[in-house]
Structure 1
Amino acid sequence: MIALWDTTGTEVVKALAAERRSAGGVTSGLALTLVAVVDERHVRDTEQAAMIAAQQHPCRLLIVVRRNVLDQESRLDAEIMVGGRLGPCEAVIMRMHGRLALHAESVALPLLAPDVPVVTWWHGDPPEKIAYDPLGVVADRRITDSAQSADPDGALKLRAEDYAPGDTDLTWTRLTPWRTTLAGAFDTADSAATSAKITADPHDPSSRLLSGWLQARLGVKPKITDSHGSGLSEVELTLASGTTLTVHGNDGTATLSRTGFPDRTMPLLARPLGEELAEELRRLDPDEPYAAALAATTGLKGLNDRDSKRVHIWHDPALAEKPEPEESETSTARTAKKPAKASS
């Protein structure tokens, strides 16, 4: 590992090139550049997740930590690792202090691996609009996580309003085992679904996206029953023939019950963050089922018809911390500072 304190972007580029030459074959065959925007408390989790994901997708990992954006003095600290504890990836951890944090792209863009896709992942609250962050504008795919928001319900609505093809959410990724199990159970259904019921935390964004997915695919709006804090625990589908399909999750397994058939037990494991991230890195095309589920959940339509290209919108979060004085206050201050005219 190479540590550079109070450095520049140019020095980071040179140090990464030198470390790649020293590592030799470890650096060949990069599949993508993964830009992770995190806060300090999530750096270790991000490293662990990237280590798991890199086993399937060798990548250049750029971890951007924005700190103290209101500071007047800017500083860049960086750590560079090629191989080592993070496996088959090249990693640059950049801690940006002061106003430099608002221009992270000036340091990150020269570090993108050439001729490979770029994926940006916000491990924490993403910006209100992804176009506010140039690191999201340059990405071919953008990954958020509504479950980490202080307001998960509002986060889903925000993601739908700001959606562009290429966006996805780890809240949706966590539903893959449930969606796979339900789709497999419905393959043998003898008629269409007439109603659906989900037992889950009504404020869990995953359960709301699952409801949207069932509504988009089956044409019925599920009823969500409170599971009293146990998360997503059961999905029940009633068919036109009177048959009932129920999937009940419990401690890493799913029990599939169907009218007239014996129960079946199948795995339904909770995956680590790295496995969820690796799943999203397998595809770079628009995730149309996610867009359809998000549209059904929020009531917004035409998400898949939007333009996938984004244009950067300058947004200074410091303005919310240091609002400009009102006109009346400014005028009063200027009047007070004017020297009195000498009397004749």
Structure 2
Amino acid sequence: MTTLWDTTGSEVVKALSAERRAAGALAFGLALTLVVVVDEKHVSEAEGAATLAASAHPCRLLIVVRRQIESPHPRLDAEVSIGGRLGPGEAVVMRMSGRLALHAESVVLPLLAPDAPVVTWWHDEPPTRIAYDPLGVFADRRVTDVTAAPDPLAALSQRAKDFAPGDTDLSWTRLTPWRTLLAAAFDTVSDRPGSAVITSGRANPSAQLFAGWLQNKLDIPVSVEEVGTRPDITKVTVSFGGSELAIFRTDSRTATISRSGYPDRVLPLPGRGVGELLAEELRRLDDDEVFGEALGTWSGLAHLADRSPHREHIWHDPMDRSETATSTAAPTGGAAQAAAATAAGSTAAGSTPAGSTAPGGPSSSAVRAKRPKPGPATSSTSGSETAGSTAAAERPKAGGA
């Protein structure tokens, strides 16, 4: 493991190349790059979840810790390892302070595994608009978790407004066991359903998406009944005229399927941690069309899947209370294939750390690399010494925002 203090982006790239050479046989083909965005206070939790997900999917793990963005002194500290505490793969933890934290892409882009898709996961509250964060703009898949927001349902509504193919949310991933059980129960049902009720705690985005999915697939009215203080889904009931089918939690690990005229069945329905949820999302790297349909039905916004998968980065300074944002007209949507040599080169000795700006004003960032949209994850041999040779990340001069 190599630890770098008050360093530059180019030094991080060199350190990763050196670690790969030292690892020898441990350096293997990478299926994807996983970019994790997290606040300092949740780093340990995010590292644990990302390590679990990365253990199931060979990837280069890039953890971006943004802290003290109000500081006038940009600083980059990094930890580079292969086969260390963050799992068997390649991992880089970058702590960015000051204005550098707002331009993290200038450090991250040169570290992307070439010819591999990019998945960006926001561990904490996601940005209001994904286009505000270039780490989301150049990603092929974008994973959020609205349960981290103060108002999860408002955040889910915003995700619908801002949706683009390739987006998904862990509140949807949490539904997979419930949807699997309900779909299996319908295998022996010949009657047409008339309505459904989902019982859950208050302000549960998963319950709302469950209702959207059922309404979209069955074309029936679905209501969400909020009871209790726990946010979990506890029961789903589907009515068929004079009979009904119900699935309800028996305890934290099992559920009971009850159907009129049939004996009850107890089946496993275990809870899952964030790492397991993230690992599930990494199994497929194409668009989650079913999520888009469920989100669109719940929100009342039609044809979400028909939206363009490409986003343009919009400069947004969280320190600017005027709430103004400027588009940098950066056509993206596929992940950046590799990093910008100019971004890495700008961090040479004697210069400001990569991606930072003078305290006098922010700079806009634009991700200009574009490549075809990937299908299922495929392994590709990666070398950080070649990263940064084929794509470009540009930023206008400071003060242009």
**With structure 2 as the length reference, what TM-score do the two structures score?**
0.78
Instruction: Please name the residue that 1:314 is paired with.
Output: 315
**CA deviation vs aligned residue, 1:98-148 (integer Å, no higher than 9, x gap):** 111111000000000111100000001111110111111110000000111
Distance, in Å, in 2 between the alignment partners of 1:66 and 1:55 is 24
The range that moved more, 257-266 or 213-222, is: 213-222
Asked if 1 retains the 8 angstrom alpha-carbon contact of 2:202 and 2:228, the reply is no
Distance, in Å, in 1 between the alignment partners of 2:323 and 2:240 is 58
Instruction: Please name the residue that 1:209 is paired with.
Output: 209
Distance, in Å, in 1 between the alignment partners of 2:88 and 2:307 is 36
Residue 293 of structure 1 and its aligned partner are, at CA, apart by: 0.8
Residues 1:232 and 2:233 aligned together: yes
Structure 1 vs Structure 2: percent identity of aligned residues?
Answer: 58
Distance, in Å, in 2 between the alignment partners of 1:220 and 1:148 is 31
Residues 1:73 and 2:73 aligned together: yes
State the AA in 2 paired with 1:44. S
How many aligned residue pairs are there? Answer: 322
The range that moved more, 45-54 or 72-81, is: 45-54
Residue 282 of structure 1 and its aligned partner are, at CA, apart by: 0.8
Asked if 2 retains the 8 angstrom alpha-carbon contact of 1:202 and 1:208, the reply is no
Residue 23 of structure 1 and its aligned partner are, at CA, apart by: 1.0
Residues 1:85 and 2:89 aligned together: no
Residues 1:50 and 2:50 aligned together: yes
If you compute each CA radius of gyration, which structure gives the higher value, 1 or 2? 1
Instruction: Please name the residue that 1:336 is paired with.
Output: none
Unaligned segments of structure 1, at least 5 residues: 324-344
Asked if 2 retains the 8 angstrom alpha-carbon contact of 1:227 and 1:233, the reply is no
Residue 202 of structure 1 and its aligned partner are, at CA, apart by: 3.5
**CA deviation vs aligned residue, 1:132-168 (integer Å, no higher than 9, x gap):** 1111111000000011111101001100000000000
Instruction: Please name the residue that 1:99 is paired with.
Output: 99
Asked if 2 retains the 8 angstrom alpha-carbon contact of 1:136 and 1:142, the reply is yes
> 1:77 aligns to what SS in structure 2?
strand
Residue 88 of structure 1 and its aligned partner are, at CA, apart by: 2.2
Instruction: Please name the residue that 1:337 is paired with.
Output: none
Asked if 2 retains the 8 angstrom alpha-carbon contact of 1:202 and 1:224, the reply is no
Residues 1:255 and 2:256 aligned together: yes
Distance, in Å, in 1 between the alignment partners of 2:62 and 2:322 is 28
Instruction: Please name the residue that 1:304 is paired with.
Output: 305
> 1:285 aligns to what SS in structure 2?
coil
| C-alpha distance 251-322 of structure 1, shift in aligned 2 (>3 A) | closer
> 1:171 aligns to what SS in structure 2?
helix
Instruction: Please name the residue that 1:168 is paired with.
Output: 168
Asked if 1 retains the 8 angstrom alpha-carbon contact of 2:194 and 2:221, the reply is no
Residue 321 of structure 1 and its aligned partner are, at CA, apart by: 8.1
Distance, in Å, in 1 between the alignment partners of 2:124 and 2:323 is 24
Instruction: Please name the residue that 2:275 is paired with.
Output: 274
Residue 86 of structure 1 and its aligned partner are, at CA, apart by: 2.1
Residue 224 of structure 1 and its aligned partner are, at CA, apart by: 1.7
Residues 1:291 and 2:287 aligned together: no
> 2:291 aligns to what SS in structure 1?
helix
Residue 221 of structure 1 and its aligned partner are, at CA, apart by: 2.5
**CA deviation vs aligned residue, 1:183-240 (integer Å, no higher than 9, x gap):** 1111211112101111111411111111111111111222222221232100000014
State the AA in 1 paired with 2:75. R
Distance, in Å, in 1 between the alignment partners of 2:310 and 2:323 is 32
Q: How does 1:34-45 map to 2 (within 5 A)?
A: 34-45=34-45
Distance, in Å, in 2 between the alignment partners of 1:103 and 1:165 is 24
Instruction: Please name the residue that 2:26 is paired with.
Output: 26
Instruction: Please name the residue that 1:243 is paired with.
Output: 243
> 1:317 aligns to what SS in structure 2?
coil
Distance, in Å, in 2 between the alignment partners of 1:5 and 1:54 is 25
Instruction: Please name the residue that 2:398 is paired with.
Output: none
Residue 254 of structure 1 and its aligned partner are, at CA, apart by: 0.8
> 2:264 aligns to what SS in structure 1?
strand
Residue 60 of structure 1 and its aligned partner are, at CA, apart by: 0.5
Distance, in Å, in 2 between the alignment partners of 1:299 and 1:98 is 40
Asked if 2 retains the 8 angstrom alpha-carbon contact of 1:246 and 1:256, the reply is yes
RMSD of aligned residue pairs (Cα, Å) = 1.3
| C-alpha distance 50-3 of structure 1, shift in aligned 2 (>3 A) | same
Asked if 2 retains the 8 angstrom alpha-carbon contact of 1:197 and 1:224, the reply is yes
Stretches of 4+ moved more than 3 A in 1? Answer: none
Distance, in Å, in 1 between the alignment partners of 2:118 and 2:195 is 41
State the AA in 2 paired with 1:233. T
More helix by share: 1
State the AA in 1 paired with 2:201. D
Residue 298 of structure 1 and its aligned partner are, at CA, apart by: 1.1
Asked if 1 retains the 8 angstrom alpha-carbon contact of 2:252 and 2:271, the reply is no
**CA deviation vs aligned residue, 1:24-53 (integer Å, no higher than 9, x gap):** 122212110000010012211121112211
